[in-house]
Amino acid sequence: MKFAVIVFPGSNCDRDMYHAAKDVLKADADLVWYENSNLENYDGVLLPGGFSYGDYLRSGAVASTSNVMQQIKAHAEKGKPILGVCNGFQILLEAGLLPGAMLRNKNLAFMCHQEPLVVANNQTQFTTGYEKGEIVRFPIAHGEGNYFCDEQTLADLKANDQIVFTYENNPNGSVADIAGITNKQSNVLGMMPHPERAVEELLGSDDGLRLFQSVVKNWRESYAVNR
């Protein structure tokens, strides 16, 4: 399985994502500069965190209009796994691949620390390696992680089991404690906490590794079955 880690001007978690995929998970992975990207030969797309275009207008807004997003949308429609972390999640929201929007954290401060999360749905290709209701520890590092959506959208997210991670102690004011959601087809996951920064005990937690392992395991199984 081969991953593309998309790099925008201002991405700053791209190396962490690449390290998690390549060195720890031992999958094939490339850092792919957004401008000269051809994603045809990639099975999965990883949108890393950072401050793409300096968070100009709104975080993720400028990157979401870039040409590479058309290819990412096509991948999403084909059912390929797309993971957006932090700024990657913000870009997916701005691109309309996921519903809702991000507001500034309720305390208006940038927060950077480890948070306990609840695995709310372990039936996605990203989370089969976890138990439902399991508490996992991932770092957060954001100023705009206060997830917001209207009541109808929230009802839809709940009805379709699209809420994948929730915060145990909601640090940023997110609606329904939401830390991560998928699209309806559950092949696009956006989350504010950083699984790629929790892949080795040395980093304070290795709870994030199972997320990447789940993607590879499920991809291999479906690839083997579909061949």
Ligand X SMILES: NC(=O)CC[C@H](N)C(=O)O
Judge contact between 82 and 4, C-beta under 8 A.
no
Binding mask 135-174 for ligand X (x = CB under 6 A): ------xxxxx-----------------------------
User: Reduced to 3 states, what is the DSSP secondary structure of residue 144?
Assistant: coil
Out of 4, 6, 50, 193, which residue is the one contacting ligand X (CB under 6 A)?
50
Q: Which is nearer to ligand X, 19 or 217 (CB)?
A: 19
Q: Write down the residue that tokens 């948070």 correspond to.
A: 115
What would the 3-class secondary structure string for 156-221 be? HHHHCCCEEEEECCCCCCCHHHEEEEECCCCCEEEECCCHHHCCEHHHCECCCHHHHHHHHHHHHH
Q: Which is nearer to ligand X, 12 or 160 (CB)?
A: 12
**Could you say which of 115, 142, 144, 194 is catalytic?**
194
Out of 3, 18, 51, 126, which residue is the one contacting ligand X (CB under 6 A)?
51
| For the chain, the helix, strand and coil percentages under 3-state DSSP, each to the nearest 5 | 35, 25, 40
Q: Which is nearer to ligand X, 100 or 145 (CB)?
A: 145
- Quick check: is 86 catalytic? yes
Judge contact between 157 and 113, C-beta under 8 A.
no
**Could you say which of 13, 86, 94, 115 is catalytic?**
86
64-123: contacts with ligand X (CB under 6 A): 86-87, 110
Residue numbers of the site for ligand X (CB under 6 A)?
A: 13, 49-51, 55, 59, 86-87, 110, 141-145
| Catalytically active residues, by annotation | 86, 194, 196
